[in-house]
Amino acid sequence: MESPSSKRNTTPSLFFQCSHLVLPWLTPQELATASLTCTTLRNLSTSITLRRASDASRSLEPLPIPFHNSLDQHPYAYFLYQPTSSPSTNLLRQPWGASSAHHDSDTKTRTETETLSLCFVDQSGNCGCEETCGGGCPCVVGFGGMDGVVFECGPGCGCGLSCGNRLSQRGIRVKLKIVRDRRKGWGLFADQFIPKGQFVCEYAGELLTTKESRLRQQTYDELSSGGHFSPALLVVREHLPSKKACLRLNIDATIIGNVSRFINHSCDGGNLSTSLVRSSGVLLPRLCFFASDDIREDEELTFSYGETRLNSKGMQCFCGSSCCVGVLPSEQT
């Protein structure tokens, strides 16, 4: 018969065997607390922290996106990763730092919204994937291009991710890194040369209703008044030729999003341009970033947050451009 003392001796062993499955789900605070328990958990927590710092995307992108910080004791920024935007979710935890993580972007499930049965075509009435999929897309002539809008294939087409007209749907395929700055905090930088016109990333986060976005903005304004909180709620308005707003997208990457949440503002417009990307079979467009000029390796990626400046007491801008106005753009949502 097994003695009580022997049971006590085997319990820690079983816990340590399972700890590599549990620790990746912990927040930084919880992980730090666990590391104080014993040497074994401290070593495991350290390895998980190093893996988190080596890839902000949690292995959900084709290439790892590391953090670099030589200024303070923050090895990474904690947030829940989502490669593309989707409606508000109840996602509260997500594993990060597990040793078995691997990159497999072409087979992962990418969230799609409400579907249609049409394939968008260009201004000449041609399907962008015709050469790749042999003209199998059920294209309907009559959908033309618009300024600031890119049309791509989607669920309504007969082609896959290898189609040349799905460039923004394959994840982030340029090398990027997240670097800590003394004044700006975290920022997104190029880790390779990026040619003009290259797709860089999507602005991914939670898709909110206007009511939800206004409530969150009120909360974020209160939190950011102390100067230690940087929200990432972006409002996008798509206009008709008449200049009347016809669609409003509220994308919140503050808690759930991708690495685009680290892109800082520049008053001169930055080196990234934004386009709404529409895909056949998907109701809502996605906001995507493209290089507006050749971008050098180690150059920070920036774009303009907007022109509306209703809050003269807003957060200070450190973009350093010759036309910097000193305050980050803000607006009443």
Q: 3-class SS at 180? A: strand
pLDDT tens-place string over residues 214-259: 999 888 888 877 666 778 999 888 776 666 667 889 999 999 999 9
Which CATH code is given to the segment(s) 56-86+113-333? 2.170.270.10
Query: Cβ(80)–Cβ(119) under 8 Å?
Result: no
CA distance 17 to 322: 57
Residues written for the chain = 333
In terms of pLDDT, which residue wins out, 74 or 305?
74
pLDDT at 273 over 60: yes
Residue 11: per-residue pLDDT:
53
Residue 207: per-residue pLDDT:
95
pLDDT at 333 over 80: no
CA-wise closest residue to 130 among 108, 163, 102, 104: 163
Q: 3-class SS at 44? A: helix
Rounded to an integer, the average pLDDT of 90-106 is 73
Entry pTM = 0.81
**H or E stretch covering 81:** strand 80-81
CA distance 174 to 171: 9
Token output for 110: 């990418």
Token output for 317: 């801008």
Q: Which phi and psi angles does 11 have, rounded to 5°? A: -60, -50
Q: CATH 2.170.270.10 residue ranges in the chain?
A: 56-86+113-333
Residue type at position 315: M
pLDDT tens-place string over residues 299-322: 999 998 876 555 556 677 878 788
Residue 83: per-residue pLDDT:
95
Residue 240: per-residue pLDDT:
66
Rounded to an integer, the average pLDDT of 54-76 is 96
Sheet of strand 149-152: strand arrangement: 149-152, 272-279, 286-291, 199-202
In terms of pLDDT, which residue wins out, 289 or 104?
289
Question: What sign has the CA pseudo-torsion 272, 273, 276, 277?
Answer: negative
In terms of pLDDT, which residue wins out, 55 or 124?
55
